[in-house]
Amino acid sequence: MAESKVRTGLVNVYAQGATAGIMVQENWDQSVQNDVITLFNKLVPSGGWEHDHQDNNGDSHLKAGIVGPQETIPIVDGEMGLSTWQNIFLCEFDGPRSKRNVVVTILNSGK
């Protein structure tokens, strides 16, 4: 952010891969992160999906689809406009994996 010298604009954080997502969430401690995992396992149980016949990870795709691959966050005064407790999380729904690509794109509002 500092390197880009953009004062006002947008930063897009995008996870490449259809079984991961980007979520803005509190990171004061691990509790909310654990609760996110608990909730998604309850809402989207593993097993019984049509896609399981391919890769046995149908639930991973569905979780990623709900969370979505990206968030677009304002840049305010040269910094990300997150609030005190907001942070950006990569949600890995089909891991652990040795590698996940995340593309970060910065746009200047030109003002």
When asked if residue 14 is in the footprint of its own copies (CB under 8 A), the reply is yes
Q: Which of 2, 5, 29, 99 binds its own copies (CB under 8 A)?
A: 29
Where in 1-111 does DSSP place strands (E)?
9-16, 20-26, 70-76, 79-80, 86-92, 101-108
- Does residue 56 interact with its own copies by CB under 8 A? no
Helix axis angle for 31-43 and 58-67, nearest 10°, is 120
Q: What is the DSSP letter of 68?
A: -
Tell whether residue 24 is a contact of its own copies (CB under 8 A). yes
What is d(CA 107, CA 36) in angstroms, rounded to the nearest whole number? 30
Is 109 in a helix, a strand, or coil?
coil
Task: Work out which of 2, 3, 47, 53 binds its own copies, going by CB under 8 A.
Answer: 53
Contact flag: residue 90 with its own copies (CB under 8 A): no
Summarize as ranges the residues that interact with its own copies (CB under 8 A).
8-10, 12, 14, 16-18, 23-26, 28-29, 31-32, 34-36, 38-39, 43-44, 49-51, 53-54, 58, 61-62, 64-76, 81-83, 85-86, 101, 103, 105-110
